[in-house]
Amino acid sequence: MTQALHDRLPPNGSVREPPYRSIMELSSDERAELDEKLGGAQNYNPVILRELARKDRKYLAPLIMAILSAEFRGIDFFGRFVVDMQSYNVPWHMTLAFARQTFDESRHTQLNMDLLEHLGSEVGEYPDIILGPQRDEIPEEELDPAVLMARINVALEGFALTSFEATRELAEEIGEDLVEHCHDYNMADEVTHVAIGDYWLTRLCEEQPWRKERAQAVQEEFDKMMAMVRDMALNYAGSSASGSTNGETSEGNTTAKPSAG
């Protein structure tokens, strides 16, 4: 008898060339090089990098790599989700929706890799921002489809939507037409991804009401966590800018305004 697909594919079997590498895995020399490029490794955060890129375009490449790092993880997650859904008796059209998202994440990855090249960089120059635990580190109860959709499609993809919009607005502001075009395109996909999550989460909770309370709690927890991370980054970016320019940007007498996302 043929094994089910999820039995034939190990949960953490995804690989990339060059391999994933977080800041924690950098050597002391590599960490010093990153500090020199970014003015400190603490600046390797999409919110902070967007603010820095308003004054210096050299920060666009690490910003795109930070976004690209999450897109690679999106391929890993949604691809694995499609495989694992065979075990949870979900509607076939829901599985097809996540197969479509896997394709979208692959397309976003290709666009951002091309943007990196356009900006004079490549995958591997900057480390990865690794989001979340590996598949086999997630408790079984957290793998419930409703919980995953609440956390990933509704909360995380909603955060990605605002992040892409902020990046598109930044690119428009500084005249980076290719970055603006690509993130306008990516943003349109994220609208669909959030809609997919909303639709199927509602459907699952209608059929199995016990899922609704758990899904809402997970979404609220994630939203609070991301809001805290965003606020910390914005506060840091604001204090850093005022400390170095006395409230003025290097391009004029206009105080930099933090973007949403």
Query: For 173-230, how does the pLDDT look when each residue is reduced to its tens digit (9 = 90+)?
Result: 999 999 999 999 999 999 999 899 889 888 888 877 877 777 878 777 877 777 776 6
Distance, CA of 166 to CA of 182 (rounded, Å): 13
- Residue 126 is assigned to a structural domain of this protein: no
- The mean pLDDT value for 99-114 works out to 94
Give the pLDDT band of residue 13 (cuts 50, 70, 90): low
- Residue 24 is assigned to a structural domain of this protein: no
pLDDT tens by residue, 146-163: 888 888 888 888 888 888
- The yes-or-no verdict on residue 102 having pLDDT over 60 is yes
Position 79 scores a pLDDT of 84
∠ CA 33-34-36, nearest 5°, is: 65
- Residue 247 is assigned to a structural domain of this protein: no
Give the pLDDT band of residue 1 (cuts 50, 70, 90): very low
Distance, CA of 85 to CA of 16 (rounded, Å): 24
Any idea which residue has 């950098």 for tokens? 26
Position 84 scores a pLDDT of 79
Main-chain phi, psi angles of 216, to 5 degrees: -65, -40
Considering only the C-alpha atoms of the chain, give the largest distance between any 2 of them, rounded to a whole number of Å.
72
Distance, CA of 149 to CA of 218 (rounded, Å): 10
Give the pLDDT band of residue 68 (cuts 50, 70, 90): very high
Read out DSSP for the chain? -PPPHHHHS-TT----SSPP-BGGG--HHHHHHHHHHHTSGGG-SHHHHHHHHTT-GGGHHHHHHHHHHHHHHHHHHHHHHHHHGGGTT--HHHHHHHHHHHHHHHHHHHHHHHHHHHTT--TTSS-B---S--GGGS-GGGG-HHHHIIIIIIIIHHHHHHHHHHHHHHHHHHT-HHHHHHHHHHHHHHHHHHHHHHHHHHHHHHH-THHHHHHHHHHHHHHHHHHHHHHHHHHHHHHHHHHHHTT--TTSS-PPPPPP-
What pTM, to 2 d.p., does this model score? 0.80
- Residue 194 is assigned to a structural domain of this protein: yes
* 16 CB burial (10 A radius; 0-12, 13-18, 19+): middle
Main-chain phi, psi angles of 22, to 5 degrees: -85, 170
- Residue 158 is assigned to a structural domain of this protein: yes
- Residue 162 is assigned to a structural domain of this protein: yes
- The yes-or-no verdict on residue 43 having pLDDT over 60 is yes
Give the pLDDT band of residue 132 (cuts 50, 70, 90): low
CA distances from 7 to 14, 15, 33, 135, 145 (A): 15, 18, 42, 14, 18
- State how many domains the chain has: 1
Position 250 scores a pLDDT of 34
- Residue 115 is assigned to a structural domain of this protein: yes
Quick one: what percent of the chain has pLDDT higher than 70? 78
Can you read off the two tokens belonging to residue 10?
A: 């190990």
- The yes-or-no verdict on residue 120 having pLDDT over 90 is yes
First-residue to last-residue Cα distance in the chain: 49
Residue-number span of the structural domain to which 169 is assigned: 72-121+133-242
Quick one: what percent of the chain has pLDDT higher than 90? 40
pLDDT tens by residue, 215-256: 878 777 877 777 776 676 667 665 555 544 333 333 333 333
Please give the torsion angle defined by the CA atoms of residues 182, 224, 154 and 59, in that order, rounded to the nearest 10 degrees.
10
**Domain CATH for 228:** 1.20.1260
Structure-model confidence comparison of residues 256 and 1, the more confident one: 1
- Residue 256 is assigned to a structural domain of this protein: no
